Structure 1
Amino acid sequence: MSTEDSVVLLTGAASGIGAATARAFADDGWTVYATDIESEFPADIRERCRCLALDVTDDAQIEAVIDRIIEEAGQIDCLVNNAGYGVAGPIEDVASDAVRQQFDVLVHGPHRLAQAVLPKMREHGGRIITVSSVLGHTASPGLGAYSAGKAAVESLTDALRIEVAGEDDIHVSLVEPAWVDTGFSDSARGSLPDGDRMPAYDRTYDALETGWTLTGGPLATTPETVAATVLAAATDAAPKARYPVGAFATFVRWTHWLPARLQDPIHRGFGRLSAFLGRWL
């Protein structure tokens, strides 16, 4: 896919993976519309990209942003659904309203944006790329609500890919990292309930607060590595359905083929071992 005069709409671009992806597309010569619910973008993003406020749960804002891009640039060649955050905690302790709000961002946001950009893309083709997670395939104790959201957007994206296959040169892909060294873990840790914790989940909370369940520890990759993968999904001549980010993400993704009697001890053991190591390293 030629990047000359190409236009990308990127959500969640004010920090982390989104900011790194905005830089990667700008380096490659794209016109980058960097959007985020937060109004503050890094200085270099403001200088190199066209920055707009966008809440992916707001239909009116989505329509206004799409209309502005079409008016200014004439087309949208690539949509990157990156906006998201994690609600952490054992399923029994997580508030249903918090899960519902997270789903609105992780699942309904990409759905709304796909509906908004597809009519424009049919005129000249394009790519829709969603930054998901290997947790969409393999759930982790304490991250069940987040895993559920990623599993849902994976299914949504798979269906969309099949539905548009062969239609007007539109391609749909998923990018699937494992842990990434961003502010995600701090935000997710801040979502943990302060009180009314079931004592039965003390080890799960320990893994979330002092272990590597949220951060990945030394297994975490960089936002720039994920950004390079997103750019590959946008530019590959024959885009793939899925792009696991790194060897460890590929390994984690394929563990879901193991029977539950083998998977479950692995996940429990990782959290407990990482909590132990986290206190000493």
Structure 2
Amino acid sequence: MIKIITDSSADLPKELLDRYDVAVVPLKIQLENEEFLEGINLTPKEFFVKMFSSSELPKTSQPSPAAFAEVFNKFEKNDELLCLTISSGLSGTYQSALLGKDISNRNVTVFDTLAGSLSHGLQVVRAAELAEKGHSMEEIVENLAEYRKNMNILILLDTLENIVKGGRLSRFQGSVAKILNIKVILEGINGVVEMKEKIRGTKKFHKRTIEIISERKADFSDTIFGITHTGNEDDAELMRQEIIQNFNPKDVIVHYMGATMGTYAGKNGMIISF
């Protein structure tokens, strides 16, 4: 039997993890001299409350190889295990999973999603659905590689405050962006994050996002969208409604963003994946 494992950065709601019986290996978060395990002793909601009240950015780190091996070894020896990780371009988690495979005594395939947040999570759901339908490991990995190639990842930054805190932008540039109400759309491409557009004003920002989505496909009826947010549930709900009204997709999953991507998304950040 094929079993699915992921790391916590997939940002999947608990009901979907339970529905597909997905095992999760948590990333580690260091915040104000305290260490937490993502989703275990710190919920996303608690994380953002702590982060927004702190002058320092939190630090995230990948699970250890031993943590992966421990989860792998909980399965039966005759199970085939498929572990999907956050992009190797964003984290060392993929390498940890490979090392965990080597020190475990289980049959593990490790798959690099080249994505983060729900763009990673949607691949986990796809893998679980295919396994449920009885596809072989080879068929699932082949299908995932094609699905991954066509994944769109739009990262919407309402503020550049955390980019400034992280040293990727000067305080002067950040102040100018705030004064001019400049918003930023980044895009996940081949496992790394790249600048796409800078937009002035919130209304134009949201309108342009919908335009970008419309440029990607003509028919979204078989498409599942993922929206993650950093506590701005109203914004995420408005975007969900816009996507449903404009594109009539198969489904829209909305959930909190985890610490890995949320650290740089900052207040009112969103990631749209499809």
State the TM-score, normalizing by the size of structure 2: 0.37
Q: Indicate the structure with greater strand content.
A: 2
TM-score relative to the length of structure 1: 0.36
